[in-house]
Amino acid sequence: MTNAIDPFAQADGSTSINPNAADPFGQPSGGGDYLKPLDLLGALILLTPVKFEQVPAYQGKPGEMVTRLSADTVVLTGDHAGRDFDAMFWSQKPIVAAAEKAKREGIPALLGTLRRVPIGADKKGGAYDTHEKFEAQLEIAPRTQYAWVLEKFTAEDAQIARAYLASKQPVSPFGA
């Protein structure tokens, strides 16, 4: 039984969602299942650019625009290995710049390990490949700024990516 004042109120007075309510809306998705870059720290990822677009800057002066990359993203190693995301947004300048350069050079995808590296005058420490290492460094040098980068891939990384791509090739029912 619904409450006339609150269509979500249950008979016991709780306010959990009432499936019998006449409201024409549902619950928000909660952001979907896309990961944040921090979730992929230290993972080998394959980015296939889909598009570049100018969007308002998240931080900065009003009216300032930045380039955002939409890339099909495949996680090849780490806690989220095997997951892939269609047209995932990437706004980190070094990653967007690398994708733009690859596009100009006719390279269809980027491969690398996602890291955070210190930038600016306070360069303390090196690249961080785990959330724990990064958090520990923030305690040591809290004012240091960091950039997201894709570290160059190794021969072993390339082998992992080739195996992934080969697994996605359609198999002909008529043989090879």
Round to whole Å and give the CA distance between 148 and 118: 9
Tell me if 7 is assigned to some domain. no
Contact 37, 13 (CB under 8 A): no
Residue 119 belongs to a domain: yes
The token pair at 167 is: 């697994």
Q: Fill in the DSSP letter of residue 171.
A: P
How are beta strands 65-75 and 44-56 bridged, if at all? antiparallel
Domain-embedded: residue 64:
yes
Within-domain flag for 53: yes
What pLDDT digit, counting tens, does each position of 58-117 carry? 777 888 999 999 999 999 999 999 999 999 999 998 999 999 999 999 999 999 999 888
Print burial letters for 91-123: b (CB count within 10 Å at least 16), e (below 16): ebeebbebbeebeeeeeeebbbbbbbebeeeee
pLDDT of the residue at 58: 78
Least confident of 33-37, 95-99, 109-113, 130-134: 130-134
Please answer whether residues 138 and 124 qualify as being in contact, where contact means their C-beta atoms are separated by less than 8 angstroms: no
The answer to whether residue 96 sits within a structural domain is yes
The one-letter amino acid code at 68 reads R
**Domain count of the chain?**
1
Q: What is the pLDDT of residues 88-98, one digit of tens each?
A: 999 998 999 99
Lowest mean pLDDT among 19-28, 126-135, 156-165: 19-28
C-alpha 100/C-alpha 106 separation (Å) is 10
The residue-averaged pLDDT of 1-21 equals: 51
Q: Which domain holds residue 57?
A: 37-167
Mean pLDDT of the chain: 78
Percent of the chain with pLDDT over 70: 64
